[in-house]
Amino acid sequence: DREQFNPDVITFPIIVHFGIRPAQLSYAGDPQYQKLWKSYVKLRHLLANSPKVKQTDKQKLAQREEALQKIRQKNTMRREVTVELSSQGFWKTGIRSDVCQHAMMLPVLTHHIRYHQCLMHLDKLIGYTFQDRCLLQLAMTHPSHHLNFGMNPDHARNSLSNCGIRQPKYGDRKVHHMHMRKKGINTLINIMSR
């Protein structure tokens, strides 16, 4: 709730929506960005594995990194989209985020129930009841089948990440990735040489 600074004018709370664009529609899908990213990664790899690094090469790498950053910062191509709306005209229902998260799973539940109804019908048709339903379900499901929540997966991801209490990440990215497993030949060489 917002503080009422002016008693004559009602100030409504602002609803903030944090959305994530699909990769194809953001800067990651831009051919110019992809080309620049490939050249940047290639140069970075060469510099990481060369015995002596020249100052000009370092500058070239910094320039490419800067160009990539410029493309990322463009408002039209951003992956993370923040939308602010005034709550004027909205109804206060009392429905909280956990209800929304459970509602997002309803298409999956519906699919599961319908699938098992079909398996029961199969039992009746062949005149045999299978003992282990899970094995039958596994046998009747194609390996390439995957659930997409009955909608565009990006919508499901957006809604599930926007529901619930916001968990801000404090500190820089280096701190968050410090305790994760690292891959790569350079890391392996550094660890083995200790």
Residues of the chain with pLDDT under 50: none
pLDDT at 153: 64
pLDDT at 144: 80
pLDDT at 94: 79
pLDDT at 154: 65
HEC sequence for 73-126: HCCCCCCEEEEEEECCCCCCCCCCHHHHHHHHCHHHHHHHHHHHHHHHHHHHHH
CB 83 within 8 A of CB 135: no
CB 50 within 8 A of CB 112: no
Domain boundaries, the chain: 1-92, 95-194
Compute the distance between CA of residue 53 and CA of residue 47 in angstroms, rounded to an integer: 6
pLDDT at 164: 60
pLDDT at 117: 94
Question: How far is residue 102 CA from its own chain's centroid?
Answer: 19
pLDDT at 163: 66
